[in-house]
Structure 1
C-alpha cells in the first residue's frame, strides 16, 4: 500500500523528510545520474538503520535481546513504517535511475546506428587512389569492327508501312 506524503511527513523528522521529498515526482527529475546515485546511497543508509532498529525492537519483545538505549521506547511498528517509507523512496529512485540509463543507452544506440549508416554509405562510394606515372603509354585503342550505319528518321518504319500497303493491294485483287 502506498504511503501518502502527509503520512510520510508525520513519520519522519524534518531532515529525513527533505531527503525523501527529493525522491518524489517533480524534484526527482531535477537530479542527474550522479545525484540520483548519491541520494540512493543516503536512502540505503537510512533504510538499513531503521531495519536494524526494528529488528532489535522485535528481539526485545520476544525476550531474546536486552533493551538497547533508553531513547527508543515503543513497539517495532514505528521503525517498520519508517523503513517502508525509505524502501518506497528507494523503489522510486531505482525506477528513475533505470529510466535514465535506458534513455542514455537508447541515445547511444541511435548514435552508433547513425555512425554505422554513414560508414556504410561511405563504403558504397570508395575513393580510389590515382594510378600514378606509368612506364609506357598504356593501352592503345582498337577501332570498332562494327559498321557505322545511320538510318534517317523518315525511313524508320517505312519498311513495315510498305509491307502493309503491299498486303492491302493483294487483298484488293481477290
Structure 2
C-alpha cells in the first residue's frame, strides 16, 4: 500500500475505509455490476453529505447562516474537504469501471446482432432471378416496335433532286 492509501487512512473512519478500499483497482475489478452500483450510491451519498456540511460551514463563516451546535465550525474544514475529495476520486473510479462494463455489454449485444444477421443471411436461399430473353441457343431476331415511315422508298431523295433541277434551270436562263 502506497502513500495514497495512508493519506486516505488518516482522513477516513473505520466504517468508511473498507468501502473506499473496495473502490481501488485490485478489488474494483472483482466486483459485480450490482455491487458497483451499490458502492457508487454509497460514495455519492457520502460525498454529497460532506459537500453539504462544507457548504453550510462556509455560509456560517461568511455570516449568511446562524451556527448550529457548540463546536467551532472552522476546525477540521481542511480534513473534511480532503475526505470529500477521497469520496469523489473513489466515485470516479467506480463510475469508470461501470462505464467499462456498460461498453462491454453494448459491444456484446452488437456482436450478437451481427452474428444473428450473418446466420440469417447464410441460411437464406440464394435468389437467382430468371434472365429473360437471351442469346443462349443462338440469336433470334426480335420484331421492331418502331412505326413505319410516312415517306415511301421511291420518294426518298426526290426533294434534293428537285432542288438540283431548279438550280440548273436558273443557271441556263442567266446565260
Which TM-score tier does this pair reach, normalised by the shorter chain? Answer: 0.5 to 0.7
Q: List structure 1 runs of 4+ shifted beyond 4 angstroms.
A: none
- Equivalent residue pairs, number: 124
Moved more, 49-58 or 68-77: 68-77
Question: In the alignment, does 2:131 pair up with 1:93?
Answer: no
Distance in 2 (alpha carbons) for counterparts of 1:123 and 1:92: 47
Distance in 1 (alpha carbons) for counterparts of 2:100 and 2:107: 11
Structure 1 stretches of 5 or more lacking a match?
Answer: 127-174
Question: In the alignment, does 2:62 pair up with 1:62?
Answer: yes
> CA 1:104–1:78 in structure 2 vs 1: closer, same or farther (change >3 Å)?
same
Q: Deviations over 1:125-165 (max 9, x none)?
A: 58xxxxxxxxxxxxxxxxxxxxxxxxxxxxxxxxxxxxxxx
Conservation of the 8 A alpha-carbon contact between 1:60 and 1:67:
yes
Q: Deviations over 1:73-123 (max 9, x none)?
A: 515322211111111111001100000110111111111111110000001
TM-score computed with the length of structure 1 as normaliser: 0.66
Match of 1:12 in 2: 12
SS at match of 2:67: coil
Match of 1:76 in 2: 77
> CA 1:71–1:107 in structure 2 vs 1: closer, same or farther (change >3 Å)?
farther
Distance in 2 (alpha carbons) for counterparts of 1:99 and 1:79: 30
